[in-house]
C-alpha cells in the first residue's frame, strides 16, 4: 500500500539534531539499549553504549548521541544492530523508520520515491515521477502531487506525471493536487498539450513518420490524417494504462480498450467506439 506522510517536522528535527549532535560528540556514536539518558550532569556521562565527553550530556541513549547542554536532540529511536553504527530503524515498523525525502517510512514500508516522499510495501509498484517539493501544488507542467492509496477498484481520475496523463485507482487520492484530477484522458492531455508539444511534425501528404518511441497525434476528427492533415509527434506513454473499457479504433485498424492502450501501442485513434462499429477491422490487440 502506497503511503504518503504529510508530517515533516520529525524528519527535519532528526536531520538537524543528528548534524549538531555528531558535530559536538568526541566519541563514536553507538546504539544503546534504552532511551532513558542520564542525569544531564555532563562529563563522562554514560549514554547507551558510549560515554559523553567533557561538557556534553546524553540526549538520546538509544542512539548513543551526546550534545552540548541545551543542544537540539533528534527524537528518534535506534534499534540495536551490533555494528557500532547509528540505525534509524527501517523496515520493521519501529519509530524512526527509513528516511524517504521529507518523510519517514513506517509500518514495514520502504522508500520507493524519495523526491516525492512516497513509501510502499516491499516489492510494490512505485510511481515513476519526480517531485520538486512534495506537498506543494504543482505548476502547469509539473507532475501532479496525487497518488492512489488502497487496494480498491475505484477509479479516481487522470493525473499528469510530467510526461503523460496516467489513470489513478485505489480507495482514495492522496496529495495536494487531488482536486486537479481529470475525468477523461482526453481532457487531461488537452490541458497539458503545451507541455508535450515536441514541435516534430508528422503525417501530411508525405506521410512523415515519427522517431522511435513516439507516435503521431492527429487533430481530433481528422481520421488519422485521412485528408493529409499533419499531426505532432508525442512520446509513447508507459505501460501504466488503467483497465477501463472505453474502446477506440486505432489508426492501425485495431480496437483498443481505451485511448491510453492505443497510444502505448504507438498509434493514435480515429475516434471512440470499436473499429467494427466504424465499419473497419474488428480485431483487438
Domain identity same for 250 and 147: no
C-alpha 232/C-alpha 204 separation (Å) is 10
Does any domain span residue 257?
yes
Domain identity same for 201 and 179: no
Domain identity same for 11 and 98: yes
Cα angle, residue 219 at apex, residues 162 and 277 outer, rounded to 5°: 105
29 phi/psi in degrees, rounded to 5: -70, 140
Whether the per-residue pLDDT at 124 is higher than 80: the answer is no
C-alpha distance from residue 260 to each of 28, 140, 160, 175, 235 (Å):
55, 21, 13, 23, 12
Domain ranges, residue 40: 1-108
Does any domain span residue 174?
yes
Does any domain span residue 146?
yes
Which one of 57, 78, 108 terminates a domain? 108
At residue 256, the pLDDT reads 92
**281 vs 25, which has greater pLDDT?**
281
Pick the range with the lowest mean pLDDT from 122-131, 235-244, 263-272, 273-282. 122-131
> What is the CB neighbour count within 10 angstroms for residue 258?
21
Model confidence band, residue 96 (pLDDT cutoffs 50, 70, 90): low
Number of domains the chain is built from? 3
Domain identity same for 160 and 247: no
Q: What is the mean pLDDT of residues 206-217?
A: 90
Domain identity same for 11 and 96: yes
Domain identity same for 65 and 156: no
Tens digits of residue pLDDT in 2-29: 444 333 333 333 334 444 344 433 333 3
Which one of 139, 166, 192 terminates a domain? 192
Does any domain span residue 281?
no
Domain identity same for 86 and 143: no
Q: Is 36 exposed, middle or buried (0-12, 13-18, 19+ CB in 10 A)?
A: exposed
155 phi/psi in degrees, rounded to 5: -85, 125
User: Is residue 101 within 8 Å of residue 145, measured between CB atoms?
Assistant: no
Residue 216 per-residue DSSP state: E
C-alpha distance from residue 17 to each of 59, 235, 244, 273 (Å):
10, 45, 49, 60
Domain identity same for 101 and 2: yes
187 phi/psi in degrees, rounded to 5: -65, -45
Model confidence band, residue 169 (pLDDT cutoffs 50, 70, 90): confident
Pick the range with the lowest mean pLDDT from 3-12, 62-71, 137-146, 175-184. 3-12
* pTM recorded for the entire structure: 0.40
Domain identity same for 202 and 180: no
Amino acid at each position: 500500500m502506497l503511503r504518503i506522510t504529510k508530517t515533516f517536522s520529525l524528519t527535519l528535527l532528526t536531520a538537524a539534531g543528528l548534524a549538531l549532535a555528531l558535530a559536538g560528540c568526541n566519541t563514536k556514536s553507538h546504539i544503546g539499549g534504552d532511551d532513558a539518558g542520564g542525569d544531564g550532569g555532563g562529563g563522562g556521562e554514560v549514554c547507551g553504549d558510549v560515554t559523553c565527553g567533557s561538557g556534553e550530556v546524553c540526549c538520546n541513549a538509544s542512539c548513543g548521541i551526546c550534545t552540548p547542554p541545551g543542544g537540539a536532540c533528534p527524537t528518534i529511536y535506534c534499534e540495536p544492530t551490533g555494528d557500532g553504527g547509528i540505525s534509524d530503524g527501517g523496515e520493521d515498523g519501529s519509530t524512526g523508520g527509513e528516511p524517504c525525502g521529507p518523510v519517514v517510512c513506517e509500518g514495514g514500508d520502504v522508500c520507493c520515491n524519495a523526491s516525492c516522499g512516497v513509501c510502499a510495501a516491499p516489492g510494490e509498484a512505485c510511481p515513476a515521477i519526480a517531485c520538486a517539493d512534495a506537498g506543494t501544488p504543482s505548476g502547469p507542467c509539473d507532475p501532479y502531487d496525487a497518488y492512489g492509496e488502497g487496494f480498491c477498484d475505484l477509479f479516481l481520475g487522470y493525473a499528469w506525471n510530467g510526461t503523460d496523463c496516467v489513470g489513478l485507482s485505489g480507495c482514495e487520492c492522496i496529495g495536494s493536487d487531488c482536486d486537479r484530477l481529470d475525468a477523461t484522458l482526453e481532457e487531461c492531455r488537452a490541458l497539458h498539450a503545451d507541455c508535450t508539444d515536441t514541435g516534430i511534425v508528422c503525417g501530411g501528404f508525405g506521410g512523415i513518420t515519427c522517431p522511435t518511441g513516439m507516435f503521431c497525434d492527429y487533430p481530433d476528427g481528422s481520421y488519422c490524417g485521412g485528408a493529409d492533415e499533419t499531426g505532432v509527434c508525442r512520446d509513447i506513454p508507459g505501460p501504466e494504462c488503467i483497465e477501463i473499457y472505453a474502446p477506440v479504433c486505432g489508426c492501425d485498424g485495431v480496437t483498443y480498450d481505451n485511448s491510453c492502450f492505443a497510444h502505448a501501442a504507438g498509434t493514435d485513434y480515429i475516434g471512440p467506439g470499436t473499429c467494427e462499429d466504424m465499419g473497419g477491422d474488428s480485431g483487438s490487440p
